[in-house]
Chains A and B, each alone.
Chain A
Amino acid sequence: AQTVTQSQPEMSVQEAETVTLSCTYDTSESDYYLFWYKQPPSRQMILVIRQEAYKQQNATENRFSVNFQKAAKSFSLKISDSQLGDAAMYFCAYRSPTGTASKLTFGTGTRLQVTL
């Protein structure tokens, strides 16, 4: 079974600075999907960014980018120019290429604080 590990329970960043959230995963599959979701106090899980394992290029969405290291099974999220609205829980998630597409395996999350 796949596992996802987020080793940083909490992180803090100053507004306008850059922060990197770590995620590692364990799998024997070669083709899979990885996601970062954000959960603000409203509780809704919001997709931040996604990466297909077969793509070597790192995904980017505006201020959010990933560093995908397939051999190391690492999938970190970089947030540039941090804003107060970025404060939330961030979850890394893995989706297997087999089975149902709706089954994600989540990490335990990293709580991000953004300070002035």
Chain B
Amino acid sequence: KAGVTQTPRYLIKTRGQQVTLSCSPISGHRSVSWYQQTPGQGLQFLFEYFSETQRNKGNFPGRFSGRQFSNSRSEMNVSTLELGDSALYLCASSLQGKNSPLHFGNGTRLTVT
């Protein structure tokens, strides 16, 4: 079974631009969540989608948004990029249930210049 696939692996953008990151979950997984990883703040939860609906959102500004499609693939969008948005963005998928572990992708490394 293929794992979680994130594209692209690397991205360089300029301040003020917007960016879209993509995540394809493991087949059969309907829950997709996003995390931001930075050296200063560590791993922080961005949001979770299930059946095309956002179920939970972390403490991030409205510039961070996402969506999920009917095939469970998800995208996250960051508008008006700031230097502080430079980070590794990790996507994870899981089955339903509190005991279901998260399966992570390799992440997208975003650099904002």
Indicate whether A56 reaches chain B with its CB closer than 8 angstroms.
no
Q: Is the CB of A106 within 8 A of B43?
A: yes
Say whether, besides A103-B56, A106-B43, A47 and B107 are in contact (CB < 8 Å): no
* Size class of the B contact interface (CB-based, 8 Å): 20 to 34
CB pair B33–A95 under 8 Å, yes or no, is no
Q: Verify B102–A102 contact, CB threshold 8 A.
A: yes
Extra contacts, 6 of them, besides A33-B98, A47-B103, A102-B55 (Cβ < 8 A), are: A33-B99, A44-B105, A100-B33, A100-B48, A100-B56, A104-B43
Contacts A45-B92, A108-B42 hold; do A102 and B103 have CB atoms under 8 A apart? no
Contact B99 A103 (CB under 8 A): no
A46 touches B94 (CB 8 A): no
Pairs A–B under 8 Å by Cβ, sample size 15 = A35-B101, A37-B104, A44-B105, A47-B103, A91-B43, A101-B31, A101-B96, A102-B31, A102-B45, A102-B92, A103-B45, A103-B58, A104-B102, A105-B45, A107-B42
